[in-house]
Amino acid sequence: MRSEDGAARVRARARVRARVRARVRARVRVRARDRARVRVRARVRARVRVRVRVRVRALMWWGAVGAVAFCIAFVAGGSAARADGPQPGGSAVYSRYAVASDDALASKAGAEVLARGGNAADAAAATLLALGVASPASSGLGGGGFALYYRARDRTVWFVDFRERAPAAATATMFRDDAPREGAGPASRPSQLGGLATGVPGEPAGVEALVMRFGTLPLDAVAAPAIRLATEGVVLAPYVANLSATFSAQMRRDPLLRRIARAAATGARLRQPELARTLRAFAKQGRRAIYSGPVARAIVAANRRRGGVLTLDDLERYRALGRRPLSGRAFGFRWFTAPPPSAGGFTLLSSLRVLERIPAASRALGVGRLHALAESWKGPFADRARYFGDPDFVDIPLAALGAPARIARRAALFDPDRARPAADYALPLSEPSPAPALQREHGTSHLCVVDAEGNVASVTTTVNLPFGARYTAAGIVLNDEMDDFASAVGETNAFGLVGGAQNLPGPRRRPVSTMSPTIVFRDGRPVLCAGGAGGSRIVTAVEQVALHVLVDGMTAGEAVAAPRIHEQGPPGGLEVERSPALPDATIDALRALGHDVSVVDHLAVVQAIAIRSDGTLDAASDPRKGGAPAGR
């Protein structure tokens, strides 16, 4: 009996100690929250001060006419920018979760999955599948891409490579002059049009990897919005109509593309029952539905009819790969971005490190910033051209290319008063390689997702040129990703860029890309998700948008809508956009510094979500493509 009483007293004392410890922990948590609130208020006040300074600088940059327009927008929209829901120019602010893509229907599909309890990975996968329905010129199950994912629960960053790869029968000489042509018109080389142009699609494996590795919903729930869009039909966006008009002669050869072109031209609702059947099979079976069985046989048959070399074995052997993302510090932030076979992430980090070493007065917002950016890109683009290929087949000396001493040498070469030749910044390593081709694909989409748990997905997907290789199978537009390889050593591609051995086609190789999905952190928490479409212009556009948000204090909508420039070295010069346009005085100042300025229609398309210190999500879809964000 005494032993029982003693045991009871011991248990009672243990309960008392447990309650005391619980009270202590609760007080510690309260104090931590109080300190966190103080830090948040301080950061908010600091951001307000920064934005005031930035808006003043912006007024000085844009000139008198721009200043009037900027003031009107600021006064009229200052309070509205803090409210939930759509804002002018394809931007919005949300309190719980957000999706930004270059098609409004696709963004809504992602938001629908989030509302049903999915996370950022589920929403990214749903948005990818919906883009294939609503934006067939840019993406779909017949393409591939890269996904960068931040998992909030363990604060880890992951990278999934679902880039297309060459068939086993690919050779280094397959695109020589004697390769058969599939037709005439724009982008009609054998690497751009027809069967030889198509690599093994990676998106089915990429979507499955996102859902299975990181998602919370079953694949059929994730695919449901895309299936509904394909079944009920969509009205295609104006940019699809513009692209269809450009490639109409080539699209007439394919029954589905012919219907897409007709619907785009007339504004009629496009129903895609064959794609809906393929999506239903994918929802039930995952990647196996595409890489084996009737859909795989249809892909191989269509490819062979158009002169290709794809086999069932090529499809069955395809796998999405996990790779370690590139990361680095610049401007007080930690940047995570794409590793090889993308050269975009390396170019972004190298440029930022050079830019950071340039005196602040020489890179202030305005002409100085534009000049410094253009100069900072020349060296990294030279490295991209000389050294990059598929990392599973070639050695890429990333450590030597990004060595601090080499970055410092490039920064020291910068002259605030004149533009240097790109060759000055090349700084080749001891054993230079021939320069591979750089591409400017336009059949690309990017999406950003931030969910209520703090997970972040930054995903870029592509079929390469508009409507890929301009043929379909099982309702799927098939890519022309083989054009991202160099055609031959020493020969120029469609853009006048020299090809080299590092990026020649070969069995099961993945071509070099410039896709640059990016997530930026400050003090261990994500503050920006960004990425873009537009070939070699992607990385320069993403960098400019990121700097506008993180350094200049712009909203995501302002940053995405602002005019941009691009420089990648010879044979071109500095490109500026026709619309939105830089002021004539700015362009004249750039020419006076020695830049060879040319005006182009636009430079890439960027999607971004800025994660504010108060937890709200500032989401923006680029007005250049007419997209819109969605969220809650």
What is residue 500's predicted lDDT score, i.e. its pLDDT? 63
Q: 3-state DSSP call for residue 205?
A: helix
pLDDT in tens, 328-379: 999 999 999 999 999 999 999 999 999 999 999 999 999 999 999 999 999 9
What is residue 431's predicted lDDT score, i.e. its pLDDT? 55
3-state DSSP of 606-627: EEEEEECCCCCEEEEECCCCCC
What is the average pLDDT across 9-17? 63
Checking if the pLDDT of 434 tops 80, the result is no
Calpha distance 302→451 (Å, rounded): 39
Q: Which residues, listed in sequence order, are joined to residue 598 by a DSSP beta bridge?
A: 575
pLDDT band at 438, cuts 50/70/90? very low
Q: How many percent of the chain have pLDDT more than 70?
A: 81
Q: How many percent of the chain have pLDDT more than 90?
A: 75
pLDDT in tens, 89-144: 589 999 999 999 999 999 999 999 999 999 999 999 999 999 999 999 999 999 99
In this prediction the pTM is 0.85
What is residue 30's predicted lDDT score, i.e. its pLDDT? 46
Mean pLDDT of the chain: 86
The sheet with strand 565-566 has its strands ordered as 565-566, 574-577, 597-600
pLDDT band at 22, cuts 50/70/90? low
pLDDT in tens, 184-240: 788 899 999 999 999 999 999 999 999 999 999 999 999 999 999 999 999 999 999
Q: 3-state DSSP call for residue 521?
A: strand
DSSP-derived letter for residue 583 is: P
What is residue 39's predicted lDDT score, i.e. its pLDDT? 53
What is residue 25's predicted lDDT score, i.e. its pLDDT? 60
Q: Which residues, listed in sequence order, are joined to residue 450 by a DSSP beta bridge?
A: 98, 456
Short-list 241, 54, 187, CA closest to 468: 187
Dig out the tokens for 186 from the structure. Answer: 């724009």
**Non-local CB neighbours of 41 within 8 Å, separated by 6+ positions:** none
What is residue 181's predicted lDDT score, i.e. its pLDDT? 72
Calpha distance 243→104 (Å, rounded): 18
Checking if the pLDDT of 492 tops 90, the result is no
pLDDT band at 556, cuts 50/70/90? very high
Least confident of 78-92, 174-188, 530-544: 78-92
Short-list 314, 320, 323, CA closest to 287: 320
444 among known catalytic residues: yes
**Mean pLDDT: which of 79-93, 205-219, 417-431, 432-446 is highest?**
205-219
Burial of 196 (0-12, 13-18, 19+ CB in 10 A): buried
pLDDT in tens, 314-325: 999 999 999 999
What is residue 11's predicted lDDT score, i.e. its pLDDT? 63
**Non-local CB neighbours of 464 within 8 Å, separated by 6+ positions:** 143, 439, 441, 443, 444, 479, 480, 481, 483, 484
Contact criterion met (CB below 8 Å) for 435 and 611: no
pLDDT in tens, 244-268: 999 999 999 999 999 999 999 999 9
Containing 600, the helix (H) or strand (E) segment is strand 597-600
What is residue 487's predicted lDDT score, i.e. its pLDDT? 78
pLDDT in tens, 295-311: 999 999 999 999 999 99
Question: Of these residues, 198, 347, 444, 555, which one is catalytic?
Answer: 444
pLDDT in tens, 41-71: 455 444 434 343 333 333 333 333 233 232 3
Short-list 329, 330, 337, 327, CA closest to 530: 337
Name which CATH class applies to 91-323+438-484+499-631.
alpha beta
Q: Check residues 83 and 443 and name the one with the higher pLDDT.
A: 443
